A and B are shown apart, each in its own frame.
Chain A
Amino acid sequence: MITLTTTSNKYLLKFYHKQVTLTFCNLLALRNTINAINIESHFYEGHSGVELISVCNLKEILLLDTLDVLELKKIMDSIFSPKKELVY
């Protein structure tokens, strides 16, 4: 289970049993790291399917599998795109 929520002016990333508090800068850096991962490469032969990333300026290390990467890409995408205004 991966979730991202806010607490006052911080962002809380729950990654399975791990909890990481991110500042906005940390969040932007994480978004960049996640977006830079080429998911297609995971499906070529010889790829371990595992990504090792650091968050919060090297303070935390996360080990992601392909599904985690996809999930995080989705989360990053959704939190940064403004909700569509509903038209009635």
Chain B
Amino acid sequence: MENLIRENLSINIKVIDLLNDQIKMEAKASATYLAMASWCDQHGYDHSAKFFYAQSSEEREHMLKIFKYINDNGGMAYSPTVEGVSHDYESILDLYKTALQEEIKVSKSIQNIFLTCRKEKDVASELFLQWFVNEQQEEEQKMRHAVKIYDLHGEDVENLYAIDKRIAGV
């Protein structure tokens, strides 16, 4: 039985379960960033809106990357349902802070899967996840940078929109 399962499956089953959870997380992130793009559009933060549209499709790409990885290695990827996406933010700073918190959550989740790979000796998946570890660092940095500039310079309304232009360079 064990040999037959190994013939059908190149990666560890626990890792597959966690990766399926990660698919849900990436889908949620994609949907959340779309909601954030909408909020930015509504409130005249054009550059931030553009930024979040791009982030949203990046998250979808992350999801598909994991999706394919599971299926290519004999597992079964599940198409996620997304619930509970918020469209309400107090301010642009609040929005970026929320985005940063979401990225931190995702980073922790990726690290957890990475460590599970190690524990289960699933070397292939560990290598696969390396890309995600680096990607998460970049994404956290982006959000942290945006939070920082809004936090430092976002006191008056004039400034808020001026800062928005700087987001294009994040």
Number of B interface residues at 8 Å Cβ cutoff, please give it. Answer: 12
User: Which residues on B sit within 8 Å (CB–CB) of A82?
Assistant: 2
Do B4 and A9 touch across chains, with their CB atoms under 8 A apart? yes
* Nearest CB in chain A: distance from B113 CB, A: 17
Do B2 and A32 touch across chains, with their CB atoms under 8 A apart? no
Complex Cα distance, B3 from A24, in Å, reads 13
Complex Cα distance, B1 from A32, in Å, reads 18
Residues 51-89 of B contacting A (Cβ, < 8 Å): 74-76, 78
Which residues on A are within 8 Å of B, measured CB to CB? 4-6, 9, 11, 24-25, 28-29, 32, 79-83
14 A-B pairs besides A6-B1, A24-B9 with CB distance below 8 A are: A4-B1, A5-B1, A6-B4, A9-B7, A24-B5, A24-B8, A24-B74, A29-B76, A32-B76, A79-B1, A79-B2, A81-B13, A82-B2, A83-B2
Question: Can you give 25 A-B contacts (C-beta < 8 A)?
Answer: A4-B1, A5-B1, A6-B1, A6-B4, A9-B4, A9-B7, A11-B4, A24-B5, A24-B8, A24-B9, A24-B74, A25-B76, A28-B75, A28-B76, A29-B76, A32-B76, A32-B78, A79-B1, A79-B2, A79-B5, A80-B5, A80-B13, A81-B13, A82-B2, A83-B2
